[in-house]
Amino acid sequence: MKLWLITHSEELKKSTGTGKLVKQALQQDCETIEWSRVEPHPEILALDKQNTLLVYPSNQAQEQTQPMINRPIKHLIIIDGTWQQARKIYNRSPYLHDFTHHEIRDIQSTYTKRRNQKQTGLCTAEVAIHLLTVHQHPAATKLQKAYDDFNQ
């Protein structure tokens, strides 16, 4: 399974961003892509929509684990940025709308480095930890430890 972080350019500049932790824990199983409004990344466009899941709320979002149980998932896309940035990335990237959406519900964030813009919002590392744990990925524990150390 591979994680794809579509990252807002401003997020790459922040010391409080957790996308870097995800990349460090997963190494070659994670790609960080700087989002471009005018040039969608060709590797994202080439992903098979049948086995790719976009973690982002949608009106058509399936139940929390439903899409992960019904079929194998090879690729997970996480939008990496503040909620305002993520909404901008999603709204200005129509190619993302074609992926099956997955919304994580009923999990409270423990992130302390920045004030959360959304009450139920999770930081990028928390999203990745949740997904890796659900999929029993061996890097879940390593990422959880790195996140806990970073978040102190």
Which residue's structure tokens are 């993302």? Answer: 96
In order, the DSSP letters of 37-100 are SSS--HHHHTS-GGGEEEES--TTPBPSSHHHHHS---EEEEEES-HHHHHHHHHT-GGGGGSE
Which pLDDT does position 61 carry in this prediction?
Answer: 45
Nearest-angstrom CA–CA distance, 75 and 135: 12
Crossing angle (nearest 10°) for helices 124-134 and 19-26: 40
pLDDT at 129: 96
- Look at residue 43 in the predicted model and tell me its pLDDT: 97
pTM, full prediction: 0.88
Residue 125 pLDDT = 96
- Amino acid 62: pLDDT: 47
Cα–Cα distance between 135 and 94 in angstroms, integer?
Answer: 28
**pLDDT tens track, the chain, 152 positions:** 999 999 999 999 988 889 999 999 999 999 999 999 999 999 999 999 999 999 998 665 444 445 554 567 899 999 999 888 999 999 999 999 999 998 888 888 888 887 665 556 799 999 999 999 988 899 999 999 999 999 98
